[in-house]
């Protein structure tokens, strides 16, 4: 099952990578041609559109750059989560982590997943709580926030690539809605799962399961 998932993800990301790289060439030409336009108002509007397109392409390429050939390694997951939290230097992030929880997987991808999930919560919420626990043969990472949340009927949809909802936690126009999709792909490639619930803080809860 894990091999089939990885093969499917690789085929999808290879196609998207090719399309994204192809789009960069005409976009670069458009930027060069702006230098010959004398109307400043027109240039400013076109520049804004081109910058928005560049942001989208960068997000596409980030999505395709997840290296699923990265080798597994044993690492301290508790320590990794603490490092991610420390990077934000935000007193509104609280943590409750079981110490010295080790996991065998692709550390860089798990780090990227955690950053995506934290970025998503902090984008819409003021307070975020993250916990790590272990029960039997599963690890549980739970991220709660006090943001506007997501309608229950959208819980599965937001994991689809490029899907954006229209209200609540809707992405800005410069985002193409890949953060949760990337995180889901990473977790599933490790044999785990990720799901959404209503947070105890009345926002969104992201629950990650990882097998050990």
| Residues sharing a CB contact under 8 Å with residue 44, sequence separation 6 or more, in sequence order | none
Domains in the chain, CATH or no CATH each: 2-64 (1.10.287.130), 73-211 (3.30.565.10)
Q: Which residue has the higher pLDDT, 165 or 40?
A: 40
Answer yes or no: is pLDDT of 166 > 90. no
Question: pLDDT class for 14, splitting at 50, 70, 90?
Answer: low
The reported pLDDT for the residue numbered 206 is 97
DSSP state, residue 177? S
Answer yes or no: is pLDDT of 34 > 60. yes
Query: Residues 179, 66: contact at Cβ < 8 Å?
Result: no
DSSP 41-67: HHHHHHHHHHHHHHHHHHHHHHHHT--
pLDDT per position as a tens digit, 112-150: 899 999 998 998 899 999 999 999 999 999 999 999 999
Backbone angles phi, psi at 137, to 5 degrees: -105, 20
Q: With the CA atoms of 191, 103, 115 and 66 taken in that order, what torsion angle do they form, in degrees rounded to the nearest 10?
A: -50
Strand pairing of 102-105 and 128-135? unpaired
Query: Residues 140, 156: contact at Cβ < 8 Å?
Result: no
The reported pLDDT for the residue numbered 3 is 67
User: Is the pTM value of this prediction over 0.75?
Assistant: no
Strands (E) located in the chain: 73-76, 93-97, 102-105, 128-135, 138-145, 193-198, 204-211
C-alpha 20/C-alpha 22 separation (Å) is 5
Answer yes or no: is pLDDT of 168 > 60. no
Answer yes or no: is pLDDT of 43 > 80. yes
Neighbours of 212 (CB within 10 A): 15
| Residues sharing a CB contact under 8 Å with residue 34, sequence separation 6 or more, in sequence order | 43, 46, 47, 50
pLDDT per position as a tens digit, 61-104: 665 665 555 788 999 999 999 999 999 999 999 999 999 999 99
With vertex at residue 54, the alpha carbon angle to CA 51 and CA 55, rounded to the nearest 5 degrees, is: 90
Query: Residues 204, 121: contact at Cβ < 8 Å?
Result: yes
The reported pLDDT for the residue numbered 100 is 95
pLDDT per position as a tens digit, 173-207: 445 567 788 899 889 989 999 999 999 999 999 99
Pick the closest to residue 61 from 14, 107, 123 (CA basis): 14
SS3 68: coil
């Amino acid at each position: 099952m894990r091999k089939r998932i990885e093969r499917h993800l690789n085929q999808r990301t290879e196609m998207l990578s090719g399309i994204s790289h192809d789009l960069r060439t005409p976009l670069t030409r458009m930027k060069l041609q702006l230098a010959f336009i004398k109307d400043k108002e027109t240039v400013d509007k076109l520049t804004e559109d081109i910058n928005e397109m560049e942001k989208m392409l960068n997000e596409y390429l980030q999505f395709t750059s997840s290296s699923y050939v990265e080798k597994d390694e044993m690492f301290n997951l508790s320590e990794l989560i603490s490092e991610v939290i420390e990077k934000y230097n935000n007193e509104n992030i609280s943590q409750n982590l079981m110490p010295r929880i080790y996991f065998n997987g692709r550390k860089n991808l798990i780090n990227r997943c955690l950053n995506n999930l934290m970025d998503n919560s902090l984008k819409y919420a003021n307070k975020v709580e993250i916990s790590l626990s272990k029960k039997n043969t599963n690890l549980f990472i739970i991220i709660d926030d006090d943001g506007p949340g997501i309608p229950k009927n959208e819980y599965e949809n937001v994991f689809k690539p490029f899907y954006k909802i229209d209200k609540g936690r809707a992405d800005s126009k410069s985002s193409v809605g890949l953060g949760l999709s990337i995180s889901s792909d990473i977790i599933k490639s490790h044999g785990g799962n990720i799901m959404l619930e209503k947070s105890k803080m009345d926002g969104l809860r992201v629950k990650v399961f990882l097998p050990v």
